[in-house]
Amino acid sequence: MPGVKKLVAPYNYKDHLYRFSAPLLVIAGGQDKMAPKKDMMYLKNHVGSTDSTYLEFSKEAGYRADYGHLDLNLGLHAAEDVYPKIYEWLKAHGKEA
């Protein structure tokens, strides 16, 4: 019974990914245990946005380290590896004033 489920079950974001239509940058670290690649790829492939980009920060992808979850923000080389990629994506997707 869909009506009952809506009242008693917690909101499930996975069921509503299709509703997300804004451009999306999905980032993951090669050693990210909190948000592993398979989960991030699921997210990228199930949002409603026609513009979604996936970036993996790992040695295999050409970066200095296999980043973990917090390394993407606080890692030794995040300022050189991660931040510029996010900046480039934001700049490419920003609206001119």
The letter for the amino acid at 77 is H
For 17, the token pair is 């990914």
The letter for the amino acid at 26 is V
Cα Dmax for the chain: 51
For 66, the token pair is 């296999």
Compute the average pLDDT of residues 34-56: 96
86: left (phi over 0), alpha (psi -120 to 50) or beta: alpha
Report, in this order, helix, strand and coil percent for the chain, each rounded to 5: 45, 10, 40
pLDDT digits (tens, 9 = 90+) for 64-90: 999 999 999 999 999 999 999 999 999
pLDDT digits (tens, 9 = 90+) for 5-32: 667 778 888 899 999 999 999 999 999 9
